[in-house]
Structure 1
Amino acid sequence: MSRIPDSFIQDLLNRVDIVDVVDRYVPLKKSGSEYKACCPFHNEKTPSFYVSPVKQFYHCFGCGANGTVITFVMEHAGLNFIEAVTELAQSVGMQVPAEERTPEARQAAQKRAEVEALDLPGVMRAACIYYRNQLKQAPHAIQYLKRRGVSGEIAARFGLGFAPDGWSGLKGAFTDYDTNPALIESGLVKEKDGRRYDFFNDRVMFPIVNQRGAIIGFGGRVMDKGEPKYLNSPETVLFEKGRELYGLYQARQAIRDAGKVLVVEGYMDVVSLAQYGVGYAVATLGTATTAIHLQKLMRHTDHLVFCFDGDKAGRKAAWRALENALPQLQDDKRLDFLFLPEDEDPDSYVRHFGKEAFEDVMARDALPLTAFMLRELSAKVDLQTDEGRARMIKLAQPLITQIPAQALSLMLRKRLAEILGIESDELDRLLGIRVAQSRYGKSRSKPVPFRTGRRQAPSIERKVIEWFLRAPGWAQHIALPAWAGEHPEMAALYALYEYLIEHPGLATAAQVLECFRESEHEGVLRRVLSTAMEEHEEFSDEEAWVELNDAVTRLIEYVSKQQWRGQMTHVMTDKNFSPSSLSEEEKELLRQLALAKSQPASD
C-alpha cells in the first residue's frame, strides 16, 4: 500500500481519543487530569501506566513504554503502522486513502478490490466451521489428537478441525462449489482441466489466524505416515507465510505475562505446549524465520527464544534464523537458541517431562545469539592454527557487519578477539570496521525507562520542546534565534520549531509526534513528553505562556553566549590577537571563558 498522507493521520488523530481506545483494552481509572491502569506491557500490581487526554499520549513509569494512540495499537496488537492506522480509521468510520500511485500500484489496488468483493474472510470462516464439524464425526482424528495429549478445550481454543479423505468434501459447505471464484482465490480449492478438487484431504486442520483474529489460511497435518507432514494453504491476498506466525493471536497475553516468546517449527509443538501451560509459543509456517517475523515478535516482547531439534536439520534451521536476525538486532533485545536432545521436539519433550522440566531446560541450556554464532564458527575452523583463525575472521566479517546494535556488536567483537588471541582494534581493522566513524545502520530510538532517584534538571532546550509539545500553536508567536550545530536536543528543538511554523494547524502533542515518526528526532521528543508526564505539573494557560517565554529568553541568552564563545575562541587563536582591542563586556566574557576552560569537566 502507498504511504498514508500526513493530512489523513492528523484528521484521524482529531477523531480518535486515546483514552477511549486504551480503555477498550485496559480498564482506566481517573487520576487527576490523567487516567491510570496497570501497564499492559509488563506485569505489575500497582498502576504505573498513565494516559493523558490533553497530550493524547501514554507513558508507563515502570517499563518506559510510551507513545501515541497509533503506537499503542501497534504495540498492544502487534500490528505495523499501516495496519494500526487502518484499524483506528475503521473504528471511526474513516477510509484510509493512499497517496499518488503508480500504474502498477493502481492495478494491484484494483485486483485487491475485486478480491475483497469475494468476501474471502467469510469463505474461510465457513470452511473452518465445516472442518470443525467434520472433526466431531472422525473418530480416528479425535483419537490421534488424544494420543498427542490434546484436550477438547485446547482443540476448541485453536479451532482444530479435520478435512475428510476425498476430492470434494467442501461441497458440503458450499453449494456453489463448482462455480464460486472465492474458493479458488482463497486456496481452499484447486482446478485442473476444468475440474475442481479440495486442496486439503485426510488431514487434521489448523486454522491460521492473523493478529486481528481473522482466519487467513490453514495448515493440515497428516495423522500417519505421509508427505508432506505439514501442508499450508497456498499464498493468497490474505495469506503470506513469510509474514504470518501460527499461534501468535492466541499467545499474545501469555507472551506479555512470560516476558518472552518461544519460536518453534510445527503447529503441534504450539498446541502441545499450550496444553501443558506453555502458552507463549508460536511457529513459523514451513519457512525460515524472516525479518518480518522478527519485527512482529519484537513488537510483543524483548526476549525471543528459538527452539530447534538437536539434529543436523535443526542446527541448519537455527543458523538460517540467526542470519535473518542479524540486521534486526537491537541492544535492548535478547535472542536465544535452544536445542533439544536428539529424537525430541517441543511436542514430545513437554509430553514426556512436563512444563517445569521444559522451562528448566530452556532457562539452563538456551544459548545467547552471540554464543551460538561463535560456537558454530569455531566448529568450522581449526583455532590451533593461524590459517584457522584467519578463516574464522573471514567467516565472521559478513555476519558482524550486518549488526546495527552497536553495544552488542562491540561485545561480540571483543569476545571474538579473545578467542583469536588478538587485540580488539586489530580485529576491527581486519573486519573493516571504523570505530571512530561507525558504519552501522541507524538504531531505533528507544524510550528511556523511568528511574527512581534524583533526576537531573531539564536543559533549556528540553523545556522549550516541552512547551511546544504542550501547545503546538504557540510556536507561531515565538521567535527563536538562528542556531547551527549537532547537539541532538537542540537539533530536535529547531526541527520541531520549523515544522510547527510551517504547519500551524497541529493541536496536540500526539499529532506532532506522528509527524516525526521514525525520524532522527522522534526519540528526543518522546523522552521529553514522557518526562513531562512524570512531573505531573499543572499550569493554567497564562502560567504556561509565562513559563514558555521565560524558557525562550534563557534559550536566547544561551545561544547568544555560545555563539560569542565560538567567535572568541576563533579570535584567540589568531596570532595577531590583542586583549586591549576588547570592550569591558568582552573582557569579562573572556575571563568567564578562560575560567570555564580551566575547570575540570563534571560528570
Structure 2
Amino acid sequence: MSLSPAFLDELRARTSLSGLIGKTTKLQKAGREMRGCCPFHNEKTPSFYVNDDKGFYHCFGCSAHGDAIKWMTDQRGLPFIDAVKELAQVAGMEMPAQDRRSAEKAERAKGLHEASEDAAAWFVEQLHGLGGGDARALLERRGISAETARAFGMGYAPDSRGRLKTALKEYGDAKLVKAGLLIQVEGKEPYDRFRGRLMIPIRDARGRTIAFGGRILDQGEPKYLNSPDTPLFDKGRTLYNLDRAAPAARKANRVLVVEGYMDVIALAQAGIGECVAPLGTALTEAQLERLWRMVDVPVLCFDGDAAGQKAALRAAHRALPMLAPGRSLSFVTLPQGQDPDDLVKAGGAAAMEKLLAEPQPLVDRLWQAELAAEPLDTPEQRAGLKRRLGELAGQIADVGVRSEYQAEFRRRGDAHFAPQRKPFTPFQRGGKAPWRPPAPPATPEAKAVRAQGGIDRVLAKAVLAGLIRHPAEIARHVEVLGSLKMADGALGRLFEAVVDVALEDRRGDALDSARLVTILATSGFEAIASDLLRADTMPYTFTQRSGDEARAREDLDEAITILIARPEVDAQLAAATAAMQARFTDEAFERQVALVREKQALDARLANLVQSNEDARSLGTEGH
C-alpha cells in the first residue's frame, strides 16, 4: 500500500485535532487554541495546547509535539498504518488500493474481527448468567473486582461443545474455525474450542479483540489455553494488554513485562497499568521491538522461581543483537515462589514499587548468570568464563554498544580475579600496637627494580639520616634494608657501614646516635655523616635532632615503606605507559591511571612526614 503525501495531508485537513484529542483529554478554550493538562506527563497546571488551524498539539512542559497521526501512534500506541486507517474511516476517506499481499491478508481477515468481538460479548453474557457462578467465584477468590473484570472484558465459556457455535451460527463454521473459535477435526463436526473456562480477550493495539486466553476453573490441564495463530492473531508478535498499557507507559515512562494475564490484571487493579505479557512463549524479537517503541528500557518482571528466571535470561540473550545506544532491558527479581499477583495481594502496589525502584541492568544480569554458570577454580574455567562473556558481547550488532560491553566484561573479570590488595590507609599515630612496615615484595620484578638502584636518592639520604638519628630502628628493618642498594659512591658505602655497625653491635637497642657517629668516624665517614645530620637540609621529623621521639620513629617507619614501594610503582607505570603508547586500549589506559593514582598516594604519604615550617625554623639552627 502506498500512502502519498497528498493523501496524508488531506487526512490531516479533514481531522478535527481538538475533537480527536478531546475524546480522552479534557480541553478548554484558550483564545484561538484549546488547552488542557498534558496526557504525556503528570501536571497540575495546563501546559498542553491544541491548534486546529495549524493542525498540531504541543506541550510546553515535556515538549510533546505532533499531528493527528502522531497522536494515534504515540498516545494510542497504534502502528502507523493502523492509525491512518482509523483516521481515514472517521474522515470518510477511502484508503489507497492495497498491493496483492495486503489485499489477500485483508480478505482472509474479513469478518473475523466481527466474529471475535461477538464471541467476546457472548462470553461476558455467560459470566453474568446462571451458568457463570463458578467463574465468578474464581474471580472473587483471586481478588478481582467486578469493575476490573469489566475493564478487561472477562467472560465465561460454558462446558459445552456447541453453545458458542450455535450462538454465532450466522458466521458459518468455516469462519469460526478460521477465527480460532471452533476446532475442526477431519471427518467430524467442528466444536467449541473453549469449554468450562474463564475467558480473557486478547486485543490488538487498536483495542479490537483478535484472540482469547481461557483459564481452567478448577484443576486440569492445560491451565491456560490460547487461541491458535489466525489471520488476526500472531502470538509471537502480540503482547497482552498492549492497547491499555501503551498510553499508560508513555505517561509513566516505563513498561513492565510480566509472565501472564492474571499478573497484568492484578497489577492494573493495584494501579500499575503499564504492564504487558507475552502469550505463552518466550519474548520474541518482534515483541521486543514493540516494547522499545514505548520506552527505551522495558523492565522484565518474571516470577521468582527457576522457570521465571530462565525465561528472563532467555529474553536477555535474545535482546543482545538488537541493543542500541540508550536501548536496553532491565530486570526485577521477585521473592522466591511469588509472582506479581502474590506480591500486590500481600503488600499492595507499594511492595511492587519498592522492587521497581532498583531494577537490575542487563549487563548485571548477564554477568551474574555467567559467573554462576560453573565453578571458577582453575585457569581453564576462568578462561571459559571470559570466552562466554566475549561471545555474548560479540552478538551485539551496534559497534559502539558492543565495544562498551567488551570493555565492561574485561574490567569486571580483571577486578574479580585480581589478587586482593590491602587498601591504603593514612598512617595513624597514637594506636596501641606499634606499626610495622610490610616486608618488601618478593617478586622477581621487585627484586630487579631494587637491584638496579632505582631508589629515590633524596629520600634515601633522609632515611639514612633518620637511621643515624634513631639507630634502634635499624634492627627492626634489617631484612628490608639489607635488600636495598640505596645509592652508589660514598652514600652507598655509608649505608652499608651503618647496617654493619648495627648488626655487629652486641648491645642492640643500646646503640645510640652519638656512639654510632663515633664508630662511623673511625671508618672515615665523619664528614658525610655530619652533613646528613644537619637539620636544615632535610625537613622530615625523623631527621631532626629534637622533637617528638615517638612520632619521629613512626614517621621513619613510613618513609622506609615508601622508599621500598616507590621504585616498583615507577617501573610498573613506565611499562604501562609504554604499552598504551604502543597500542591504546581501555584496559591499558585504566592500568596507567591506577598506577598514577598509586604514585600520587605515595607522594601524599611522604608529604605527611614533612616537619611544619614553624617547627623547621625553630630547629633550623641546630646541628649535631
User: TM-score, normalised to structure 2's length?
Assistant: 0.61
Structure 1 partner of 2:122: 130
Distance 1:108 1:324, change over 3 A: same
Is 15-24 or 160-169 further displaced after alignment?
A: 15-24
Corresponding residue number in structure 2 for 1:599? none
**1:130-169 CA distances to partner (integer Å, 9 max, x unpaired)?**
2122223232222222111112221111111111222112
1:209 aligned to 188, 203, 207, which one?
203
Q: Provide the secondary structure at the position in 1 that maps to 2:104.
A: helix
**1:223 counterpart residue number:** 217
Indicate the residue corresponding to 1:503 in structure 2. Answer: none
> CA offset at residue 389 of structure 1?
4.6
- The CA deviation at 1:236 is 1.2
Whether 2:57 is the aligned partner of 1:65: answer no
Q: Which runs of 5+ in 1 are unaligned?
A: 430-603
Partner of 1:208: helix, strand, or coil? Answer: strand
> SS state of the match for residue 290, structure 2?
helix
Equivalent residue letter for 2:86: E
Residue of structure 1 in register with 2:449 after alignment: none
> What residue number does 2:86 align with?
87
After superposition, what is the alpha-carbon deviation per residue over 1:257-306, rounded to whole angstroms, capped at 9, x for unaligned? Answer: 43322211111111222233333322111122223323333333444211
- Please say if residues 149 and 275 of structure 1, whose CA atoms lie closer than 8 Å, have aligned partners that are also in contact: no
Structure-2 change in CA distance of 1:259 and 1:195 (3 Å) = same
SS in 2 for 1:353: helix
| Higher-RCO chain (CA-CA 8 Å, sequence separation at least 6) | 1
CA deviations over 1:530-554 (Å, ceiling 9, x no partner): xxxxxxxxxxxxxxxxxxxxxxxxx
Closer/same/farther in 2, CA of residues 385 and 61 from structure 1, 3 Å limit: farther
Show the counterpart of 2:306: 312
CA shift, 1:220, in A, is 0.5
Letter in 2 for 1:126: D
Are the structure 2 counterparts of residues 253 and 74 from structure 1 closer, same or farther at C-alpha, using a change threshold of 3 Å? closer
How big is the shift at 1:224?
2.5
Q: 1:235 aligns with which of 226, 229, 232?
A: 229
Calculate the TM-score normalised by the size of structure 1: 0.63
CA gap of 1:69–1:146, structure 2 versus 1, over 3 A, is same
1:331/1:406 contact within 8 Å kept: no
Checking the alignment, whether the CA contact within 8 Å between 1:207 and 1:217 is kept in structure 2 is yes
Q: What is the CA deviation profile of residues 343-363 of structure 1, one whole-angstrom value per residue up to 9, with x for unaligned ones? A: 211222222332222222332
Q: Structure 1: which amino acid aligns with 2:115?
A: V
AA aligned to 1:4 is L
CA distance in structure 2 between the aligned counterparts of 1:281 and 1:251, rounded to whole angstroms: 6
2:137 is paired with a residue whose SS is helix
Flag structure 2 segments of 5+ consecutive residues without an equivalent: 416-579, 589-624
Aligned residue runs from structure 1 range 388-467, under 5 A = 388-403=381-396, 411-421=404-414, 426=585
- In structure 2, distance between residues paired with 1:228 and 1:205: 14
Residue type of the alignment partner of 1:97: P
Classify the secondary structure of the residue corresponding to 2:272. coil
Residues 330 and 361 in structure 2, CA contact (< 8 A), matched pair in contact too: yes
2:37 match: 38
Structure 1 or 2, whichever has the larger Rg, is 2
Q: More displaced, 289-298 or 76-85?
A: 289-298
Q: 2: distance between equivalents of 1:76 and 1:290?
A: 24
Q: Deviations over 1:366-398 (max 9, x none)?
A: 311221122112223555655445434433345
Counterparts of 1:513-552 in structure 2 under 5 Å?
none
Any idea what the Cα deviations from partners look like across 1:103-126, whole Å, max 9, x if unmatched? Answer: xxx26623522541xx22221222
Alpha carbons of structure 1 residues 225 and 205: separation in structure 2 relative to 1, 3 Å: same
Q: Give the one of 279, 282, 291 matched to 2:276.
A: 282
Give the alignment partner of residue 367 of structure 1, picking from 351, 356, 360. 360
User: Residues 445-470 of structure 1: CA distance to partner in whole angstroms, max 9, x if unpaired?
Assistant: xxxxxxxxxxxxxxxxxxxxxxxxxx
Say whether residues 1:295 and 2:294 are aligned partners: no
Larger mean CA deviation between 198-207 and 237-246 belongs to 237-246
- In angstroms, what is the RMSD of aligned CA positions? 3.1
AA aligned opposite 1:80:
P
Distance in 1 (CA, whole Å) between partners of 2:284 and 2:199 is: 24
Quote the residue 1:534 is aligned against: none
Q: Distance in 2 between matches of 1:393 and 1:56?
A: 56
Q: Percent identity?
A: 42
Which amino acid letter does the alignment assign opposite residue 132 of structure 1? V
Q: Is the 8 A contact 2:267 2:273 kept in 1?
A: yes
Structure-2 separation of matches of 1:53 and 1:289: 41
Residue 409 (structure 1) shift: 5.2
- What is the number of residues matched between the two proteins? 419
Matched, 1:157 2:170: no
